[in-house]
Amino acid sequence: MNSTYKSLFEEFTFKSGVQLKNRILMAPMTNFSSKENGVVSDEELSYYQIRAGGVGAVITAVAYVTRDGKGFVNEISADSDEMIPGLKRLADTIKGEGAKAILQIFHAGRMAPPELLEGGQSVSASAVAALRPGLVTPRELTESEIETIIQGFGDATRRAMEAGFDGVEIHGANTYLIQQFFSPHSNRRTDKWGGAIEKRMTFPLAVIDIVKATVKEHSKTPFVVGYRISPEETETPGITMEDTLTFVDTLAEQDLDYLHISVQDFWQGSMRDENDKKSRVLMIHERVGDKIPVIGVGSLHTPDDVNEALDTGVPLLALGREMIVEPKWVEKVEAGEEETIATTLTKDDQERLVVPDGLWSPIMNTPGWFPVVEKD
């Protein structure tokens, strides 16, 4: 190994006691590859297996916790005990290659495509439509329905534990239901679940509480509980950085193992003010990094990029698209073969990269998403 990259391979121990062999995680990325009923598929297992050998942990594609929260075609399900055997195969596959296995869990809320829902009706904090074509105006959740979804997060956590996962990541980012409750755009409620910022934290904190209570009740070994957050929204009204810094102050006191900051680029500035160039990841790390570990992510393509990000003091970094383009990214750095890391792919690389059909199609058909080049 090139000694320049020694810091990438330092061990890290979470508050829960779970230890990572290095500072690199595979970021959660939807792969549209489970069976229609949410059961993990064989091609999904192959996709994870080839990528789980080098990273310290794999955070899976997101799994829905209740049926009305399904957000993607062929998405993993954690909504019933029938899913446990498939989830166990996934956890065993990841752990068998040497990485810790973390199941990301969520409810899509108003971002759920109507064609994936029974009756075609999505739900959310309030009946406010998302600004995205193809979606319907959601129905406002009742108090009892909110409690049912919260319980769904607890039940999904138990299933993850029974399946052998090392942790769960609560997906409170990317405009899905947990974020919808925190956002003044999507949450116009006047009961205990909405209003001032403290009340808009009520749902996310209730989800964290039930996940932690489930871990306490069922855990036989250390188990990670992480939380993913998006720093800002473009809508008005919408989540501002000031809102988020207030929120992370509270999250830092929740006995979580980490905060995972969801951005497109580690160095990305404000979505709301183009003159504000300061990295949102670093702002959160500087605010609460002494209380809770931050996972940074976003456009860290090379070992030098990762090194530069680690030099900021952010202790953990997740690689997303980089792990699709180069499944052996970490192994190559560790072996001193960083010059052979692939940074592009061609339309003929699907089989070599072990990418399921459900993911390969959008990679090929979404211009600018991946560095697709013509074959030499």
Positions marked active-site: 176
CA–CA distance, 155 with 250 (Å, rounded to integer): 24
CA–CA distance, 45 with 92 (Å, rounded to integer): 10
Does the N-terminal peptide bond of residue 28 adopt cis geometry, omega within 30 degrees of 0?
no
* Sequence-separated (6 or more) residues with CB below 8 Å from residue 198: none
Tell me the one-letter amino acid at 285.
H
CA–CA distance, 64 with 146 (Å, rounded to integer): 15
Tell me the one-letter amino acid at 14.
F
Helix, strand, coil share of the chain (percent; to 5): 40, 15, 50
CA–CA distance, 308 with 321 (Å, rounded to integer): 18
* Sequence-separated (6 or more) residues with CB below 8 Å from residue 80: none
Task: Write a three-state SS string for 166-206.
Answer: CEEEEEECCCCHHHHHHCCCCCCCCCCCCCCHHHHCHHHHH
Write down the number of H helices and E strands in the chain: 13, 14
Rounded to 5°, angle at Cα 180 from 175 and 185: 100
- Residue 39's alpha-carbon distances to 33, 52, 63, 82, in angstroms, are 9, 20, 10, 9
Which spans in the chain are helix H? 42-49, 84-96, 143-163, 177-182, 197-200, 202-218, 241-251, 280-288, 303-310, 321-325, 329-334, 350-353, 357-365
CA–CA distance, 34 with 262 (Å, rounded to integer): 23
Tokens of 39: 């059961």
